[in-house]
Amino acid sequence: YAVFRHRGTAHLARAQGVLKAALRGGNGGILTSLAVVAGVAGAQSAGAAGLGVLAIVVLGLASLAANAVWIGLGGFVSDRAQRHHYRGERHRMMERMGEDPRRGREAVEAVLVDGGLDEDSARDAAAILIRSPYMASDLILSREFGLALPRATNPALDALAAFGAFVGLGMVPLLPYLLGVAERSAFGVSVTLTALALLLTGGLRWHATGESPLRALGETLLFGGLIAVVAHGVGRLVAG
């Protein structure tokens, strides 16, 4: 039973890691392309010449490709660095516990007392926990130093999920321009498709986190609207 439970927990953690990376990448891709579309639309509304469909497609695809590579590689490198850092801190903590078991036990006891146990219960629990240097070190690092235990995920898989979602969902605001929708209505169609894509990622966030649907969907749409307004305003300002 313990083996199956461990495997199930590991698989769940990996799935959650992939979903989190995909949501981060998907939202990033949508907002990146939306900023390009809204910025060019703002410049056009101020009378800028020479910024047609081709400019939006070129700028959008170039920005999407460059940022997709960055979000994939950046997430991979960051996650790997966090793992190495945690393992190094854990190794040093275990060494100190091995050199001075009494102080190690007292450190665990202090953490347990801070967590709400009375001194006698904390002393008994610390005497047991100290038998597992890994567990005792993890407890001290998380409660005393605020270091989170690295998730049982695959950094490469998370990076691929973020990259794929960034590119896939990031294409949504560009679709009207890629599919030849009339230029006078392309921006409106792009905004509509973008809103639907943001509702999708907000819904996935709601499902994954269990938070309020109003908050998950509302914040996602709010951030998208804010970025569109800012990009449109910058386009008008520069072109004006």
**pLDDT tens digits along 91-130:** 898 888 888 888 888 888 888 888 888 888 888 888 888 8
pLDDT above 70 (res 68)? yes
- Give 132-153 pLDDT, tens digit per residue: 888 888 888 888 887 777 765 6
- DSSP per position, the chain: -HHHHHHHHHHHHHHHHHHHHHHHHHHHHHHHHHHHHHHHHHHHHTT-SS-SHHHHHHHHHHHHHHHHHHHHHHHHHHHHHHHHHHHHHHHHHHHHHHH-HHHHHHHHHHHHHHTT--HHHHHHHHHHHTT-HHHHHHHHHHHTS-PPPPPS--HHHHHHHHHHHHHHHHTGGGHHHHTT--HHHHHHHHHHHHHHHHHHHHHHHHHHH---HHHHHHHHHHHHHHHHHHHHHHHHHHH-
pTM of the model: 0.73
- Give 191-210 pLDDT, tens digit per residue: 999 999 999 999 988 887 77
What does the pLDDT read at residue 218? 92
